[in-house]
Amino acid sequence: MNFELRDYRTRIKTKNLVSFRVILHESDLMVLAERDLSSETLALLFSLRKELEDYIARRPEFLTSLTPISQDESAPSLARKMIKAGKLAGTGPMAAVAGAIAQEIGKTLLDQGLTSEIVVENGGDIFLSLKREATVAIWAGKSPLSGKLALRIKKHLMPCGVCTSSGTVGHSLSLGKADAMCVIAKDTAFADAAATALGNLIREEKDFKKLKKALKKLPQILGVVCILGDKLFAAGEAVEFSSLS
C-alpha cells in the first residue's frame, strides 16, 4: 500500500473531536468525529467502492466520460448522486467521486447515531457537519497565497461541502491552471464536480471573467474562491475569510 504524505493535515486543529485516517486503495480519508470510528468508516468505504466498481463494470462510460451522462435509475444510490452532480455542473460523474464518498460516509455515520458531529476530508474535498463554525484552510501549491487564507464556514450552512480542484496540485484531472478552485455548496458531490468544471475555465487572470459568468448559471454554489498564482477571485454569500492563527 502506498502512503501519500499530506502536510496540510498536520495543521488540522480540533476541539473535542478525535481524528483518524482511513485508507483503501486510492481513497485516503481523514475523519474527525466524537470517537474513533475507523472500522465503521472502512466498512462503509469498502461497500461504496464495491458498488461503484461493479457499476463501472456494467457501464464503463461512468468512469471515462468527461461530460454529463444520462441518469440510470437502476444504478446504486451513490452513482445516481454522482450522475446528478455531474449533470448540474457539466462534468462527467467521476468529477464528483471524492465529494460524493465523503458526504455519503459522513451522513451515514451521523444517521447511525455513531457521532453527532463529523468532518470527512477526501483528497481535499470536505463534508462538514458540525454544531459550530469551522475554519477551512485553502492550500494552493506554490502560490504565495497557499495556506495564507482560510474560510470561515458558519454553523447555519452545515451540513455542506467545501471542495477544491487544482490544475497544479494533486492527481485529479483538471484542464485549467488554477492553483486552487474552492467551491462551497450544500451538496458535497455537486461542490466537487463544480470545482472541477470551474477550474477547467481558468488558465490566466482574464479568465476570471469567464468564472463570473459561469457562476450566474450555478445558483447552487454558495461561495467560490479561486487562486491563480498571486491573484485571487472570490464571490458568494458564504465566502468569509478567517485568520489561521
Q: How many other C-beta atoms lie within 10 A of the C-beta of residue 220?
A: 14
The 10 Å Cβ neighbour count of residue 186 is 15
Please say whether the structural domain 7-242 has been given the CATH code 3.10.520.10: yes
pLDDT-based confidence at 139, cuts 50/70/90? Answer: confident
pLDDT score of 223: 97
Distance of CA 229 to the CA centre of its chain: 21
57: phi then psi, degrees, rounded to nearest 5: -60, -30
Check whether 6 has a pLDDT greater than 60: no
Mean pLDDT of 21-40: 95
pLDDT at 176: 75
Q: At what angle do helices 77-89 and 97-111 cross, to 10 degrees?
A: 130
Of 17, 36, 7, 171, the C-alpha closest to 98 is: 171
Banded pLDDT at 4 (limits 50, 70, 90): very low
CB atoms within 10 A of CB 199: 27
Give me the pLDDT at residue 197, please: 95
Q: How many residues does the chain have?
A: 245
Beta pairing class for 27-33 and 18-24: antiparallel
- At 46, the pLDDT band (50, 70, 90 cuts) reads very high
- Whether residue 76 is preceded by a cis peptide bond, meaning omega within 30 degrees of 0, is no
Question: What are the CA-CA distances from residue 102 to residues 25, 161, 182, 198, 200 (Å)?
Answer: 15, 9, 16, 20, 22
Beta partners for 81? none
C-alpha cell of 19? 481524528
pLDDT in tens, 80-101: 999 999 999 999 999 999 999 9
The span from the CA of 175 to the CA of 48, in Å, is: 27
pLDDT in tens, 214-240: 999 999 999 999 999 999 999 999 999
Predicted pLDDT at 26? 87
Give the pLDDT band of residue 103 (cuts 50, 70, 90).
very high
The model's pLDDT over 52-81, given as tens digits with 9 standing for 90+, comes to 999 999 999 999 999 999 999 999 999 999
